[in-house]
Structure 1
Amino acid sequence: MLGALIAFGASAAETTPHYGPELQGFDFPYPIQKFTFTSQKQSLTMGYIDVKPKGTANGRTAVLMHGKNFCGVTWQDTIDALSEAGYRVIAPDQVGFCTSTKPQHYQYSFHQLAQNTHQLLASLNIDKVSLVAHSTGGMLATRYALMYPQGVEKLAMVNPIGLEDWKAKGVPWRSVDEWYQRELKTTAASIKSYEQKTYYDGRWKPEYDRWVTMLAGLNAGPGKEIVAWNSALQYDMIFTQPVYYEFKYLKMPTTLLIGTSDTTAIGSDIASPEVKAKIGNYNELGKQVAELIPHATLIEFDGMGHAPQMEEPEKFNQTLIEDLNKS
């Protein structure tokens, strides 16, 4: 295993492309549209994918929220499946991520990102959606659903982080400057090593390499410093703005889709062994949080990790669509 990772690191260093700060140069399977708006005294843009129904339209819109190390486009298999099932699908990139603006200065909050997303949807004349969210997107979707409950007919969260409050469990705080220095060191090899261990329970499929290359190319490109800075600010938001205590206030039908072998936990790399043993246990977290959320349904993917929609896309998408269609 170590030898394979070293070999991967050496080849990745030679082959990693250099994408622009808004992923200029990456080969997208869909057109990327841009929403321009004003926030915090500056003009910003959010890139987003808007796919119309390929099958018989059902009159519903699914909004897909990406995770911290993901983009709207990483939902590709799910976008296609939902479109075939009759949904209009919107997959935005949040400010600071992927195809969107990387501000020099921005006060990141889930409230702010939720408002940005709400403005995007209003510009498209969309007033009611099914929210499907993954990883950090689950924290954002929870905040969005709390702020705009009348606009969310269904909430589906796929291995959301934020099912626990890491700092309350003893994970030490890390400054934005420390996060920044950490993010500057991001490489294709470090991304793959982390994802293979934490997301995929030691497994790996060749199709994951595309997304590693995407992130590595963004982090290696001409905007690498501003990409790393925004990433540092986002990590601070994630760590210091828990949604865990507000799950009980969700009003809409909510489904948790949980890969039970996931071990993702912010700050686990600097936590003590005692604390590390207590965090990131999705086999238990899914069950615990399902008890906190009114009108909750728990669907478990036994043995899968942080991204079941990428591990077993056909099984996941069928399960998701069946669940959404129950609403």
Structure 2
Amino acid sequence: MRSVACLLTLVVSTVLGQTVVPPSTWNYTYPWPVKYHNLTSQRLNLSMAYMDVAPTSYATNKTIVLLHGKNFCGATWEDTARRLSTHGYRVIVPDQIGFCKSSKPPAYQFSLQQLAFNTNSLLQSLDIAQVKVLGHSMGSMLATRFTLMYPDVTSHLILTNPIGLEDWKALGVPWRPIDLLYADELKTNYTTIRNYQQATYYVNTWKPEYDVWVNMLVSLYHLPVEGPTFAYNMALTTDAVLTQPVTYEFGLVKAKTLLLIGTKDNTAIGKAWSPPAVQAKLGNYSVLGRETAAKIPGAELVEFTDLGHAPQVQDSERYHEALFEWLDRVG
């Protein structure tokens, strides 16, 4: 296992006392041109990759931001972004710092607040004053935090199988040191990713088209220089989502809110290293979706009783039918 100290050798240069961390060298093909928002954060000069997808059929003067999950990238929103674009939306699809085509800092204090701040910085650079925010998995947890931090910016909040609907720590998940989380991440390979996604995302089914997202993620861990840094960033992100619950603040959300929940989902951070009695209590989305919808004022809930953690992939037509019915109706 490579040490954290080795990761610090990935620093490229220092300008006026600030470390410059360039965009990723990862060459995975994205469906639209990738642009970069440069920002200074935690004494680091970073580049945040994003796609800016224009409306293709007609313009509504509405903008929506799509926030990816921990095991995903902006590119995984391609299907949704194309549909929104043809529906008249301008679609902003960022890769968060530490992920995919964005800078991967060798040392960074990951927090939902920091990622939300970075996302808002991107929107400010594009002169976007108000948005709808759609997140999936960790991206939904981030979308919730963004909405809480920037209520005047967020008009609508759409949560797709969010993590963070329960406080895993309070339910008994033991804290795991970052060094051990990093060691776990370094063991990641095609088999571990597929087995996890098959059990959690797709309700123990598998289609060949799911492999593209597995292989995309595997390629990040196997980057010759950035791979260990990416793995370390993922360990830091796991610690952030485990220790920074949003579940206690759902009642403060002011945006119009839709929850899209595949109830076969069983995702829970820390479940893998928890005692069996704790594992049995975690990740019951048939209950968590309804509890969360009841906490958010005026929220609507759509449940997919036969789908798992990634309903937008597992049954794209049904998922997007529900999404657009709500968007068209609530305005």
Shorter-chain TM-score: which interval? over 0.9
SS in 1 for 2:117: helix
Deviation per CA, 1:288-325: give whole Å up to 9, x if none: 11111111101111210001000111221121122122
Quick one: distance in 1 between partners of 2:176 and 2:143? 25
Q: Which residue of 1 aligns with 2:70?
A: 68
Q: Judge conservation of contact 2:26–2:223 (CA < 8 Å) in 1.
A: no
- Give the unaligned 5+ runs of structure 1: 1-19
Quick one: distance in 2 between partners of 1:227 and 1:258? 29
Quick one: distance in 2 between partners of 1:301 and 1:145? 25
Matches within 5 A, 1:295-314: 295-314=298-317
Q: Which residue of 1 aligns with 2:88?
A: 86
Quick one: distance in 1 between partners of 2:238 and 2:308? 21
Give the counterpart letter for 2:210 in structure 1.
Y
Quick one: distance in 2 between partners of 1:23 and 1:294? 43
Q: Which residue of 2 aligns with 1:242?
A: 245
Deviation at 1:22, TM superposition (A): 2.5
Q: Which residue of 2 aligns with 1:101?
A: 103
Quick one: distance in 2 between partners of 1:80 and 1:275? 41
Quick one: distance in 2 between partners of 1:317 and 1:48? 22
Deviation per CA, 1:9-56: give whole Å up to 9, x if none: xxxxxxxxxxx9836221222111111111111100111111000121
Q: Which residue of 1 aligns with 2:3?
A: none
Are residues 274 and 217 of structure 1, via their aligned partners in 2, closer, same or farther at CA, if it must alter by over 3 Å?
same
Of stretches 143-152 and 309-318 in structure 1, the one that deviates more from structure 2 is 309-318
Quick one: distance in 2 between partners of 1:54 and 1:64? 17
Q: Which residue of 2 aligns with 1:15?
A: none
Quick one: distance in 1 between partners of 2:86 and 2:92? 14
Deviation per CA, 1:264-307: give whole Å up to 9, x if none: 11011111111111100101100011111111101111210001
SS in 2 for 1:125: coil
Residue 164 of structure 1: which of 160, 163, 166 is its match?
Answer: 166
Residue 257 of structure 2: which of 254, 259, 272 is its match?
Answer: 254
Cα RMSD of the aligned pairs, angstroms, is: 1.2
Are residues 21 and 153 of structure 1, via their aligned partners in 2, closer, same or farther at CA, if it must alter by over 3 Å?
closer
**1:225 equivalent in alignment to 2:225:** no
Matches within 5 A, 1:1-40: 22=24, 24-40=26-42
SS in 2 for 1:88: strand
Q: Which residue of 1 aligns with 2:320?
A: 317
Q: Judge conservation of contact 1:21–1:218 (CA < 8 Å) in 2.
A: no
Quick one: distance in 1 between partners of 2:68 and 2:220? 16
- Give the unaligned 5+ runs of structure 2: 1-21
Structure 2-normalised TM-score? Answer: 0.91
SS in 2 for 1:298: strand
Q: Judge conservation of contact 1:21–1:224 (CA < 8 Å) in 2.
A: no
Q: Which residue of 2 aligns with 1:174?
A: 176
Q: Say how many residue pairs are matched.
A: 308
Give the counterpart letter for 2:299 in structure 1.
A
Q: Kindly report structure 1 stretches of 4+ aligned residues shifted beyond 6 Å.
A: none
Quick one: distance in 2 between partners of 1:311 and 1:65? 18
Q: Judge conservation of contact 1:21–1:221 (CA < 8 Å) in 2.
A: no
- Greater RCO between the two (CA within 8 Å, min separation 6)? 1
Quick one: distance in 2 between partners of 1:151 and 1:43? 25
